[in-house]
Structure 1
Amino acid sequence: MKNNLFFRILGQYEYKILHKRILFTMLILLIYITGSNIDIVSQEKINRHEDSFYKLAVSNMGGDIHSLNIFSLGLGPWLTAMILLMLLRYRNLDKAMKQTRKEKHYQEKLLTLAFCIVQGYFVINQSIVKEHIKEVNIALLILVVVTGAMLLVWLADQNVRYGIAGPMPIVLLSIIRSIFNQRLPELHVHTVILVTIIVLIAIALLILLLIELVEYRLNYRDIMHVTETRTQSYLAWKLNPAGSISIMISLSMFILLNSFIGLMMGVFIGTSSDSGILSFANVEGITFYLIMQIILGYLLSRLLINTKQKTKDFLKSGNYFENIYPGRETEAFLNQKARRVCWTGAMIVGLIIGIPLYCTLFVPQLSQQIYFAIQLIILVYISMNIAETIRTYLYFDKYQQFLTKYW
């Protein structure tokens, strides 16, 4: 009787698409948790040095190098490969649109595989104690972590099709695990400093919430409602269209570049270690990362806005902006507005991430707490993006009968 009542309530609200996708995502997360707990190297051979931002950054892409396991590389190589190919395809959208889904996936997976090998070699050499490095089969370990990374990529790709928010739930769970694994040292600071840090974190979270909710609107004339003076049509853009994915991709590219330099040092010098320049322990490394974050955030936002396609849509529909001619003039107008919006959003996100990173140089005794705060900010940001995806599916479920009738 209770089961019948449960299914009756479930059927009444008709959240069929949403609850199926949630169940599929939960299955993906279960597989991810299982694989993350399968160590491929004993804990005695793993470096026990103090946690660095490198470890925290890897966890922000679904990886875990606190222990060397199947999914240690995470989704970083895939995210890097995907954004590089997207930016290359943006140069010639007409040619990219002619490519089949199979061709695009083949290119992504091939480039991801190359990135996995580079990062896998670097992570293994960094994670295993030097005294035990000769006791392990490095080629076999690389094969395992690369296979695990490709499996995780396949799971994330399946979650894009049948689950919720693609790779974001995996990254969200990875950050939560990393937060609980951290052992923060005891604070010996003045109460005023502690209160100031908490207030700054709250302000950063509030700003992230605002840039997710605030829209930049461009009013235009809709020829279908030209006689209705009360109806106002507008083109809406978020201040940061790239969302949290820009942070994950910038961290991924920074780590991959660091891994590549470490690999080259291992080949030519004989020692594989973190690059002194590309490190969060100095001003140069932080500045380089922030520049990369801002540029990638801008490019990804422009890619998602896609002013070229919007200009074509306006030509087809006949809609127009007042005092702006269709075609090239409309495209120039949209590009000008898009540059303003995308640079603003990218700079705001860069400041929110950059100020805490620079603080670790001036207050090194609080570095672990500041890294924790950065992870908390990213965690909330990703949660907001996932919540927005869920609202989209709820909206579809609400009008499912109407949409399926004509779609």
Structure 2
Amino acid sequence: MFTKLKSSKLVQRILWTLLIMFIYMLGRSIPVTTVAMDTGVLAVMKTQTLLNNMAVVTGGQLSEITLFSLGIGPWMTGMIIWRFFTVFGMFKNLTTSQLNRNRMILTFLIALIQAFGLTAGATFTAVDIFGMTSPVLARILTMIFMITGSYVLVWLGNMNSVKGLGGMMIIIIVNMILSFFNNLGQYFSDNSFTGVELLVQIAIFATCLILLMMVTVVTYRAEYRIPVRRLGVSNHLTKDTYLPIRVMPAGGMPFMYGMTLMMLPPIIFSSLLSFFPENQILTYLSLNTGLSTLPGVLIYAVILYFLAIGFAYYNYDSYDIAKNMRNTGDYIEHVKPGKPTQKFIQAKINIFAQIGAVFVILMGAGPLFFIVGQSGKTSIALLISNVFIVISLMLTIIEQVNTLLNWRRYKNLL
């Protein structure tokens, strides 16, 4: 049995994932020693823009500066910006190595901006290097540690993609689960309940959580099936052949990348305020681009909509689908192969992209409209989208595990 477990691909991947999870949990608890331990990092910014709640979906931790405070946020933001470039055909003639190098440079620039903004209100310890002692030097070292930690996380995520389960997203899952239990414990510690009240609160919370999980699973797996026929094949098995299009084509990606993008403007405005502290426009923007303000929620809703549409078209390319169907001899009844098939599939994708975008806005931005001006309740409003993110990512891992199990069943035939 030990030999079988040792040679199992699934067991090996699970062990690698557990190791990477342990390294991440260890790194997020290692403080950067150039920052005073009692520093209230983002004490003001956190109440205004609630960056700490949004950083949960990037694996970051902004309540204090640690080795992994930035998380994989710079990488996620860089991927969104890079995809925007590729839509317009930019950098299409670059080699794979050049593309990777340019993406890493873009990630570095974003990490530099975030590290600079997050260290704006920190108190630094004295650092003596070659007889030089300066707060500026300590801040530079702090930023180097934070940027390095972000790159280490990207490397760990890529390593998990090759050898583990869940890829880069395992970092987000771990951070969101840890944050969930921290917020839950903080809620019950801040409010005094009697024994009966505590049981009622737990029962209500558990019921709502179970219902939310059920809705998430149903909506994530719901799909529209287009019957497909195969040229020259006529038997009872062809009746079950179909082209699936998910009701939510973008999945949970808009929530994760939407919060990642919402983190960048407040940090940029905070960084600019350190140079122009009297600028009224920057002050207004820094105070009104968070998820507890009406302008911030509206911006977030718009970002969610465009991300939902963009990821839907990214996940379902009608041209590639129609081309593959033509090459394999598949066709849709009463629809000619080629361009007509592409238009037919694109029309279906357009419909479900809009349905998915509306659903994403209702789940992500809808609850935030009811708590505008109440920054203390934003974490509760974000719980809906956070649950959807965790469940959708977990379902992806389950699908990956099922694939490995199915591969093990058929490997003797290969």
Query: Which one of the candidate residues 46, 55, 74 is aligned to 1:77?
Result: 74
CA–CA distance in 2 between the matches of 1:228 and 1:239?
Answer: 29
The reply on whether 1:33 has 2:41 as its aligned counterpart is: no
Letter in structure 1 aligned against 2:227: N
- Larger mean Cα displacement after TM superposition, 159-168 or 376-385: 376-385
Q: Could you state the TM-score of these two structures normalised by the residue count of structure 1? A: 0.84
The verdict on how the C-alpha distance between 1:360 and 1:384 changes in structure 2, with shifts beyond 3 A counting, is farther
Contact 2:78–2:107, Cα closer than 8 Å, also in 1: yes
The residue number in structure 1 matching 2:11 is 19
Letter of the structure 2 residue corresponding to residue 144 of structure 1: F
Say which of 113, 118, 124 aligns to 2:119: 124
Q: Deviation per CA, 1:40-59: give whole Å up to 9, x if none.
A: 12321234848653201102
Rate the CA distance shift 1:315–1:353 in 2: closer, same or farther, 3 A: same
Structure 1 residue identity aligned to 2:61 = D
Q: Which residue of 1 aligns with 2:131?
A: none
Distance 1:221 1:91 in 2: 35
Question: Which of 257, 260, 271 does residue 252 from structure 1 map onto?
Answer: 260
What secondary structure sits across from 1:165 in the alignment? coil
**1:109 alignment partner AA:** M
C-alpha distance in 2, partners of 1:267/1:135?
16
Alignment of 1:390-401 (within 5 A): 390-401=401-412
1:206 aligns with: 214
What is the rounded CA distance, in whole Å, between the counterparts of 1:371 and 1:21 in structure 2? 31
Aligned to 2:177: 176
- Structure 1: 5+ residue runs without aligned partners? none
Of 3, 22, 26, 1:7 maps to 3
SS class of match (1:110): helix
| Amino acid aligned to 2:169 | M
Distance 1:386 1:308 in 2: 28
In 2, are the aligned partners of 1:211 and 1:345 still within 8 Å (CA)?
A: no
* Contact 2:364 2:384 survives alignment (8 Å): no
> Distance between the aligned counterparts of 1:262 and 1:150, measured in 2?
23
| Equivalent position of 1:335 in the other structure | 346
Change in Cα spacing, 1:105 to 1:131, as seen in structure 2 (3 Å) is closer
Residues 171-221 of structure 1 show CA distances to partners (whole Å, capped at 9, x for unaligned) of 111112222333223279xx8999887765544332211122211111122
What letter corresponds to residue 186 of structure 1 in structure 2? N
SS of alignment partner, residue 75 of structure 2: helix
Could you tell me which amino acid in structure 1 is paired with residue 179 of structure 2? Answer: S
Please, what TM-score do these two structures have when normalized by structure 2?
0.83
1:1-400 equivalences under 5 Å are: 5-8=1-4, 10=5, 16-40=8-32, 41-47=35-41, 49=43, 52=47, 53-90=50-87, 92=89, 100-126=95-121, 128=122, 135=135, 137-182=138-183, 183-184=186-187, 185-186=190-191, 201-225=209-233, 227-228=234-235, 231-232=238-239, 233-269=241-277, 275-361=286-372, 366-372=377-383, 374-400=385-411
Closer/same/farther in 2, CA of residues 289 and 129 from structure 1, 3 Å limit: farther
Between the aligned partners of 2:15 and 2:278, the Cα distance in structure 1 is 48
Alignment length, in residue pairs? 390
- Counterpart-to-counterpart distance in 1, 2:219 and 2:315: 16
Question: Cα RMSD between the aligned structures?
Answer: 3.3
CA shift in 2, pair 1:320/1:163, >3 Å: same
Give the residue type in structure 1 aligned to 2:389: I
CA 1:174 to 1:193, structure 2 compared with 1: closer, same or farther past 3 Å? closer
SS in 1 for 2:244: strand
Distance in 2 between residues matched to 1:219 and 1:397, nearest whole Å: 30
Give, in whole Å, the separation in 2 of the partners of 1:46 and 1:79: 26
Q: Which amino acid aligns with 2:262?
A: F
- 1:75-128: per-residue Cα shift (whole Å, max 9, x none)? 1111121233234335559x85x76442332222111111101111111125x2
Amino acid at match of 2:253: I
> Which residue identity does 1:44 align to in structure 2?
D
Contact 2:258 2:307 in 1 (8 A): yes
Return the letter of the residue paired with 1:79: M
Describe the shift of the 1:394–1:346 C-alpha distance in structure 2 as closer, same or farther (beyond 3 A). farther
Q: Distance in 1 between matches of 2:220 and 2:37?
A: 42
C-alpha separation between the residues in 2 aligned to 1:399 and 1:100? Answer: 37
Task: Describe the SS at the equivalent of 1:237.
Answer: strand
Judge which range, 98-107 or 391-400, deviates more: 98-107
Per the TM alignment, residue 380 of structure 1 is displaced from its structure 2 partner at its CA by 3.1
> 2: CA distance between counterparts of 1:382 and 1:70?
25
Change (3 A) 1:198 1:180: closer
